[in-house]
Amino acid sequence: MNKIAVLVSGTGTNLKALIEAIKNNEIKNGKISLVISSNKNAKAITIAKEANINTMVLDRKSFKLAHEFEEALFLALKEEEPNLIVMAGFLCIIPKKITDHFKNKIINIHPSLIPAFCGEGFYGLKVHEAVLKKGVKITGATVHFVNEIADGGPIILQKSVEVKQTDSPEILQKRVMEQAEWVILKKAVNYICLNRIYVKNNKTFITEE
């Protein structure tokens, strides 16, 4: 059974999608052993507690320096020794020290079709604001492995979503979550737990069942 650590910062809807997928057996061979939040007020903590999952708060704001926060996160992850780390709405950048130690063991859900609208500064609603400002007609979500480049690791799954001309950032965010994020995140976690994903030349491949 794969031990999964989930990193969160906010509302935790992606965490909830994972918890439900494990319950429904859509994710096989995986169990969430720990949820770490970078925000002490995150709703995601309540979602984890209600599902009887161990939680840890490393409140980013209570660390003076980014380096101190990153070190605490590194120690916590090393101690937990998860097989997979899922950034499910984790709005902090992970340092190279952590991505090197857990190479191809950390995945992230990003609310756009990478390489569009991604990288430093593109997170949460800001992504959807930029999508609407540019006027693209299609957006979506991407699950990718995490390396030292922000949103730059090998892409695992993507799903497109229509942008409507009446959309607000909030309405578009909701559609991207419902139609893309919650769907591809659990699928990617299941593939990884079943050992069906491998990385070659910075690209991912999915093996047949």
> Phi/psi of residue 138, each to 5°?
-130, 135
Least spacing, CB of residue 49 vs ligand GAR, in Å: 15
Rounded Cα distance, 205 and 137, in Å: 28
Annotation says 144 is catalytic: no
- Between CA 74 and CA 187 the distance in angstroms is 26
- Min CB(86)–ligand GAR separation in Å: 10
The residue whose Cβ lies closest to ligand GAR is 89
In the complex, minimum distance from the CB of residue 87 to ligand GAR, in angstroms, rounded to a whole number? 7
Q: One symbol per residue from 168 to 187: x for binding ligand GAR (CB under 6 A), - otherwise; what is it?
A: ---------x---x------
- The residue within the footprint of ligand GAR, chosen from 10, 82, 140, 153 (CB under 6 A), is 10
DSSP structure class, residue 163: P
* Gap between the Cα atoms of 2 and 195, Å rounded: 10
Site for ligand GAR in 108-137 (CB under 6 A): 109-111, 123-124, 127
Which range binds ligand GAR by CB under 6 A, 8-16, 46-54, 65-73, 188-196? 8-16
Phi, psi of 9 (to 5 degrees): -140, -15
Give the DSSP letter string of 12-43.
Answer: -HHHHHHHHHHHTTSS-SEEEEEEEESSTT-H
Task: List residues binding ligand GAR (CB under 6 A).
Answer: 8, 10-14, 44, 88-89, 109-111, 123-124, 127, 177, 181
